[in-house]
Amino acid sequence: MIVAEQKPLAEIMDRTADAGDVLVLGCGTCVTVCFAGGDKEAEILAASMRMKGDLDGRTQRVSHATVQRQCEWEYLDSVAEQIGSADTVVSLACGIGAQAIVERFPESHMVPGLNTRFYGLPTTHGVWEERCAGCGDCVLDYTDGICPVARCSKGLLNGPCGGTKDGNCEVSADTPCAWYQIVERMEKLGHLDRLAEVHEPKNWQAARDGGPGRIVREDLVRERDREAVGLERVSA
Ligand code: SF4
Ligand code: SF4
């Protein structure tokens, strides 16, 4: 899932200082699961903003709402009226949901309330760890299921480097070395000979290096949308 953290209250207050009406908009999916931007967090942030606003002498109205997913326009449409009447929407979604608001409602003023961090896994209660960087060319098969792109500090495709010590990465003693884990796992599975394979540089064009990502599933695009997404129409 997408993992995010809430921005400090002071930063959110600063960025909403000029707004008379503020809508704090939560998202009911990934950021609910990581306790950053669900309905409960939206309610608490709205209450905190009202209290801080009172203390600072602001005359600002702050309300809150939550949609199932901010990253789909259909869900955003259910709060179109509230978004339309707010001077500023504080989005408690990941960066995708936050941008969906301004794409669907171009007149709106949106302030991100979260910092989106990574695609991660909850490894124990209250702990999320990065597991994937969306590189667009998955190599998990030759690393026996442990991602060297997201989990090795250098993103090495051939490791480990000389910085691994006692199973940890040289960046810090509490960061496991992904390549140490890969080697351990290869050994357990009887694949250690694979370590001798040299992997050529990856094609990074499928990742951020190739510009913004886009997937077009031709078979799913509606006839009326084909030209707009750069496809030829099927029927004349
Ligand atoms: S290799 Fe790429 S797609 Fe696969 S888990 Fe790692 S970052 Fe994600
Ligand atoms: S010590 Fe391990 S995780 Fe750190 S950069 Fe080297 S191979 Fe990658």
Give the CA distances from residue 154 to residues 31, 55, 75, 148, in Å, rounded to whole numbers and listed in that order. Answer: 27, 46, 39, 8
pLDDT for the residue numbered 236: 60
Q: Whose CA is nearest to atom 7 of ligand 2?
A: 160
The domains of the chain are located at 2-118, 135-202
Q: Whose CA is nearest to atom 8 of ligand 1?
A: 132
Which of 166, 170, 171 is the best mutation target for the ligand 2 pocket, counting ligand atoms within 8 Å of the beta carbon and taking the most? 170
pTM over 0.75? The answer is: yes
pLDDT for the residue numbered 95: 98
Residue pair 139/175 in contact (Cβ under 8 Å)? The answer is: no
pLDDT for the residue numbered 200: 93
Pick one of 3.40.50.720, 3.40.50.300, 3.40.50.2300, 3.40.47.40 as the CATH number of 2-118.
3.40.50.2300
Going residue by residue through the chain, which has 236 residues, state the pLDDT in tens, using 9 for 90 and above. Answer: 999 999 999 999 999 999 999 999 999 999 999 999 999 999 999 999 999 999 999 999 999 999 999 999 999 999 999 999 999 999 999 999 999 999 999 999 999 999 999 999 999 999 999 999 999 999 999 999 999 999 999 999 999 999 999 999 999 999 999 999 999 999 999 999 999 999 999 888 888 888 888 899 999 999 999 999 999 988 76
| Residues whose CB is less than 8 angstroms from the CB of residue 213 and which lie 6 or more positions away in sequence, other chains included | 134, 136, 206
